[in-house]
């Protein structure tokens, strides 16, 4: 007889725990949903970061090519100036044209670098 009345007592004690189990299961599923959103957000940020790095790399390449053209024009201007000053060659007009190109490239290079990379 003792065993028959103990079953309802055990059932009464365990009944309040079953809604807690459902609540815990719901919390776990909610955590899984939130975790999935966080992972999607992280993947989106990573994709955005890769895109930004590719853009920055392209900007650096453009500035490098502009700097290379600037260096060549400055060396050409210097060579023409040396030829004119030391050897008496008549290259004043080409020297001034190259000087104008050098100054223009220097200004454009500086402006583009400031616009693209300031304040980092």
CA 77 to chain centre: 38
Domain count, the chain: 1
pLDDT at 46: 78
pLDDT tens across 8-32, in order? 666 666 665 555 556 656 666 777 7
* pLDDT band, residue 83 (cuts 50/70/90): very high
Q: Has this prediction a pTM greater than 0.85?
A: no
Structure tokens at 30: 């909610």
Cα separation values, 112 from 34, 51, 90, 98, Å: 43, 20, 35, 21
Query: CA 116, 119, 120 angle in degrees (round to 5)?
Result: 70
pLDDT at 21: 59
């Amino acid at each position: 007889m003792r065993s028959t009345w103990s079953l309802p007592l055990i059932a009464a004690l365990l009944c309040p725990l079953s809604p807690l189990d459902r609540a815990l299961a719901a919390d776990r599923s909610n955590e899984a949903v939130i975790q999935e959103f966080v992972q999607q957000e992280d993947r989106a940020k990573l994709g955005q970061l890769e895109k930004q790095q590719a853009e920055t790399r392209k900007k650096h390449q453009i500035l490098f090519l502009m700097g290379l053209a600037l260096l060549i024009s400055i060396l050409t201007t210097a060579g023409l100036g040396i030829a004119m000053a030391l050897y008496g060659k008549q290259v004043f007009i080409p020297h001034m044209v190259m000087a104008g190109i050098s100054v223009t490239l220097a200004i454009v290079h500086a402006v583009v670098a400031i616009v693209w990379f300031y304040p980092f």
